[in-house]
Amino acid sequence: MLEQEVRRQAMLQVMGLEVWLPRQELPHAAPAADWLLNWQPPAAAETPAPPTVVRTVQKKPDRQGPAAEASSQVRTSLQQVRDSLQPASRSAGSATEPVVSEAAGQVAKPQQPAAGIPRFSLQLLRSGPCLLLADLPLGEPFQSSDPDFQLLQDILRAACLPQPALLRQGEPIRWPLLTAGQLAGAQDAEAARTCVRDLLELECSQQSASFVWLLGPQAMQFANTAYDADADLFSLSAFREQVRFWNLPSLEQLMHERTLKPQLWQHLQKLMRHWVQDA
């Protein structure tokens, strides 16, 4: 048992792990051997012992003889094991360093194209002759109790439009579509823009629309062409024949920035007549 403990302590210390052993028997613990209670690792021999430890040893002279001999044997055996393990650990460390760096390089390579892959979630809705494409900052679909969804309902009510209906069975447009495979690295901004515009084209072909509200920077960036990706707020941009984009702040921006709501109302009054006629 002593040799096993010596080897275990030596291996732990070579690996840089601190070894803590009790200096006395713990309450309600199983009895421990005397040599284990008086264990002194080599680091402890170099550091001066606290005065309290010295007084404790002086109060128990009857255990000092066999304990000191066992402790000396343990330190000698421990040092021999440490000396035999250190060269092996150094050679093992030098042998594994290139492997680790090579493995790290292999892991980093597929992550390089991932830096150019955008990540977003957009909710697609319809309200009368208008399609609504709204940013989802948390990536979760709208719920009827969400404050931003309630704000959207208020805006549509003020615009004389019906309450919004979720399209795609309420499933958001998420990007990237693929998380693994050879094509996962080809999901750049241009591919994301093509996907979003194709879905809007499909909805417009199934049921006509006159305006598409782009609510938020992600919706504006990936629904517009690359030329109009940085369009001004409340501006109009072309999408297809008789269908225009209306670039708007996100619902979160409207809730937190008070100056945006009056601007929205002013532009809303100018455009309202278009979809009221189409309704």
Q: What is the 3-state secondary structure (H, E, C) of the chain?
A: CHHHHHHHHHHHHHCCCCCCCCCCCCCCCCCCCHHHHCCCCHHHHHCCCCHHHHHHHHCCHHHHHHHHHHHHHHHHHHHHHHHHHHHHHHHHHHHHHHHHHHHHHHHHHHHCHHHHCCCEEEEEEEECCEEEEEECCCCCCCCCCCHHHHHHHHHHHHCCCCCCEECHHHCCEEECCCCCCCCHHHCCHHHHHHHHHHHHHHHHHHCCCCEEEEECHHHHHHHCCCCCCCCCCCCEEEEECCEEEEEECCHHHHHHCCCHHHHHHHHHHHHHHHHHHHC
How does residue 77 score in pLDDT terms, banded at 50, 70 and 90? Answer: low
Q: For residue 21, what are its two tokens?
A: 């052993």
Check residues 14 and 159 and name the one with the higher pLDDT.
Answer: 159
Sorted by where each begins, the domain ranges of the chain are 2-94, 120-178+187-278
When mean pLDDT is compared across 9-18, 149-158, 213-222, 230-239, the lowest value belongs to 9-18
pLDDT, average across residues 194-198: 95
How does residue 216 score in pLDDT terms, banded at 50, 70 and 90? Answer: very high
Cα(231)–Cα(245) distance, rounded to whole angstroms? 10
How does residue 6 score in pLDDT terms, banded at 50, 70 and 90? Answer: confident
Q: Cα dist. 178→93, 105, 154, 181 in Å?
A: 38, 23, 36, 7
Q: Domain 120-178+187-278 carries which CATH code?
A: 3.40.470
Check residues 39 and 155 and name the one with the higher pLDDT.
Answer: 155
Q: For residue 5, what are its two tokens?
A: 């403990």
Q: What is the pLDDT of residue 38?
A: 58
Q: What is the pLDDT of residue 274?
A: 86
Q: What is the pLDDT of residue 181?
A: 77
Q: What is the pLDDT of residue 166?
A: 95
Global model pTM greater than 0.75: no
Q: What is the pLDDT of residue 148?
A: 94
Q: What is the pLDDT of residues 47-60, one digit of tens each?
A: 455 554 444 444 44
pLDDT, average across residues 198-215: 95
Cα(104)–Cα(84) distance, rounded to whole angstroms? 31
Instruction: State the helix-helix crossing angle for 2-14 and 64-111, rounded to 10 degrees.
Output: 40
At 206, the amino acid letter reads Q
Q: What is the pLDDT of residue 21?
A: 67
At 220, the amino acid letter reads M
Residue 76 has pLDDT above 90, yes or no: no
Q: What is the pLDDT of residues 165-177, one digit of tens each?
A: 999 999 999 999 8
Residue 160 has pLDDT above 70, yes or no: yes
Residue 45 has pLDDT above 90, yes or no: no
